[in-house]
Amino acid sequence: MHRGKGMKFVGDSRVLAPSHRKPNIPKDYSEYPGKTEAFWPNFLLKEWMVGAVFLVGFLCLTVAHPAPLERIADPTDTGYIPLPDWYFLFLYQLLKYSYASGPYTVIGAMIIPGLTFGGLLLAPFLDRGPERRPAKRPIATSIMLLALAGVVFLTWQSVANEDWKKVEEQGKIRAQVNIDKTSEGYKTFQSQGCIACHGDNLQGGAAAPTLIGTGLNASQIANIAQHGKGKMPAGVFKGNADQLKALSEFIAGLGKK
């Protein structure tokens, strides 16, 4: 096969009258020796091979690491902070900078991504030189490397600044438990202010972990209620001994395995 002679483009879908038809000769690319190749099958075969390698790679990855599932979304849970998947973390991170957030959200959410993705879309029209080697296209290559560095940096910043333990905690799938809101224990939980941090369904939130299925026994819980633990302040519980007993037995009985 002659070099570059295998590819034909139909530029105009209208059909000319027979008297106007030119002989159907493909464009001559001989002025670019060594820089062209036949579209079929050489070029397509290469594309397909690369595509197949990536497809099989992704398939293996998804089988080896199934996507983690979180609990069912709860629109009433205001403590849940949604986080995009890893491949959008760079855009998410962009929105944290002062000139791309708050009153400038439009810049971070629309203008910067719009310019970059729009530029990518327009690249074939802006960069029309005959060169294909990256080294001979310094502007296109440096813009691409810069963008790549930006994406890598923003993703890394986002990963480094996120509290992943909290993210995992907030999405955890938990056994459904029935909370008896008429019980003495729940009423005490409410009246002693535990609810402010641990939530009205003891589900936890941004301020405190869930109290369902803690694995703690009643006396350990009574101790924490009075003396605190870690980031939980001491002296939250100010009731009497009966209330403490009801409260700690109530929490100890939740989601017990």
Can you give the binding site for ligand HEC, defined by CB under 6 A? 192-194, 196-198, 207-209, 211, 214, 216, 221, 224-225, 229-233, 236-237, 247, 251
CA distance 125 to 13: 22
100 vs 198 by CB, closer to ligand HEC: 198
Distance of closest approach, residue 228 Cβ to ligand HEC, in angstroms: 7
Distance of closest approach, residue 212 Cβ to ligand HEC, in angstroms: 9
- Candidates 220, 185, 217, 223; CA nearest to 202 is 185
The two tokens of residue 161 are 């600044």
- Residue 209: other Cβ atoms inside 10 A: 19
Per-residue b or e along 170-208, where b marks 16 or more CB atoms closer than 10 Å to that residue's CB:
beeeeeeeebeeeeebbebbeebebeebbbebbbbbeeb
- Candidates 231, 199, 205, 207; CA nearest to 251 is 199
Distance of closest approach, residue 156 Cβ to ligand HEC, in angstroms: 28
- Give Cβ neighbours of residue 154 (< 8 Å, ≥ 6 apart): 89, 90, 91, 93, 94
Ramachandran area for residue 97 (φ above 0: left; ψ -120 to 50: alpha; else beta): beta
158 vs 243 by CB, closer to ligand HEC: 243
Distance of closest approach, residue 82 Cβ to ligand HEC, in angstroms: 22
Distance of closest approach, residue 173 Cβ to ligand HEC, in angstroms: 17
- Candidates 229, 249, 254, 227; CA nearest to 238 is 227
CA distance 143 to 150: 10
Distance of closest approach, residue 122 Cβ to ligand HEC, in angstroms: 51
Distance of closest approach, residue 52 Cβ to ligand HEC, in angstroms: 49
157 vs 220 by CB, closer to ligand HEC: 220
The two tokens of residue 205 are 């939130």
Point out the residue whose Cβ comes nearest to ligand HEC. Answer: 230
83 vs 232 by CB, closer to ligand HEC: 232
Q: For the chain, what's the residue count? A: 257
